[in-house]
Chain A
Amino acid sequence: GENVEQHPSTLSVQEGDSAVIKCTYSDSASNYFPWYKQELGKGPQLIIDIRSNVGEKKDQRIAVTLNKTAKHFSLHITETQPEDSAVYFCAAHAGGTSYGKLTFGQGTILTVHP
């Protein structure tokens, strides 16, 4: 089955700096890659996603890039703010017989210092 590796496990930045979180996946059939933000005591919230026919997608301060050949995708947050502090999860959707199943990475704890 699909395996998703996420790095780093913790990331500490100063307000205004950029943050980058990277994920690799194992199943070349995976075709959908969402990113979720989870704050303490809450469920994961979708912040951005990308499909396999697109190499890059941007939404204000957040961008995601996908390299299908290398089977990795990254989340980029620019001009970080303290409210960006949370746990971020990447995920991959394999499709086919595993349609509907998301496999999540282990998470990255992002801390933005004022």
Chain B
Amino acid sequence: EAGVVQSPRYKIIEKKQPVAFWCNPISGHNTLYWYLQNLGQGPELLIRYENEEAVDDSQLPKDRFSAERLKGVDSTLKIQPAELGDSAVYLCASSFATGTSGDTQYFGPGTRLTVL
């Protein structure tokens, strides 16, 4: 079974440029998460989707970040414009929501963003 797929794996851009990350979750997983991981720290949730609905985007900096999951499968996270402080690893995860306490989240390899 294929895991969570993310692309690109690495991205280097100049500050003020736009950038987009793509994620394809595990087949059948209806919940998708985007996390930010700064160097030496644990992942922090940016946004969570249940199917195509963003049910928790409280940690997403909406002035420059946006995300979509139009058909409830793959998702795109965008930053426009990028700032130096956005350099980090952007992780995507997915889970099959069972409605019970805590659903196992499976992570992709991440996209390492460097903003110059």
Contact = CB atoms under 8 A, between A and B. Distances in A.
Contact of B105 (A46, A51, A95, A106): A46
Contacts of B110: 42-43
Contacts of B4: 43
A114 interface: no
Contacts of A36: 107
Interface in A31-53: 31-32, 34, 36, 41-46, 49, 51-52
B36 to A, nearest CB: 11
A29 to B, nearest CB: 10
Contacts of A102: 43, 45, 105
Contact of B101 (A31, A91, A101, A106): A31
Contacts of B109: 41-43
Given A102-B45, A104-B42, A107-B41, A44 B97 contact: no
Given A43-B4, A43-B109, A44-B91, A100 B97 contact: yes
B104 A52 contact: no
A4 B1 CA distance: 32
Interface of A: 4, 6, 31-32, 34, 36, 41-46, 49, 51-52, 89, 91, 93, 95, 98, 100-102, 104-107
